[in-house]
Amino acid sequence: GNKARRGVAAKPSSPLLEDALKGYPFVNDDKTKLSSTFNELAKLYGDEEALGMVKIEPRVLRFDAENFEPCLESWTEQFGLEKAQAMVKRNPGLLGVKPSLTEDADSSMYGSYVVAALRPSPISLAVWGVLLLSLLGNQDFWTDGGFYNGGGSPLQ
């Protein structure tokens, strides 16, 4: 993707701005503010990465874009630029954090892995779906009391 680099003059508008706005589910929001927020996000994290974050968490376009750069700078001091960007990409909700709350971000770094791991994906949904179908289709399991009586293995 188009990686962001600090210290480089910002483009006036990300080429992926329209894609980001198309996927935005909320109505009656100021498109100019949403656009400037997305462009700030793209400047700091890269176009593709910013679009990915909006797809994961559309509310990021409602966050205060003036906090994005100070937060990224604080996290960069603690973890380095690439790790800080990766942390926010895993948990875009961190874009809503105020710069004053970024001083000791170890818990944010660990939490970003948890958030990413628990986010529903096609694979995890398929695994849960197969498990659910195997339990629903196993009448003996349920007639023997299910989980309450140790109703045997659900996969017998």
pLDDT, tens only, 21-55: 887 887 778 899 999 999 999 999 999 999 999 99
pLDDT single digits (tens) 78-135: 999 999 999 999 999 999 999 988 888 888 888 888 888 777 777 777 777 777 777 7
Tell me the backbone φ, ψ of residue 26, rounded to 5 degrees: -90, 150
d(CA 38, CA 12): 11
| Residue 152: predicted pLDDT | 54
The pTM of the full predicted model, rounded to 2 decimals, is 0.67
Structure tokens at 152: 């045997």
Instruction: Give percent above pLDDT 90 in the chain.
Output: 44
Please count the other Cβ atoms lying within 10 Å of the Cβ belonging to residue 135: 15
Q: Can you give the length of the chain in residues?
A: 156
d(CA 113, CA 59): 20
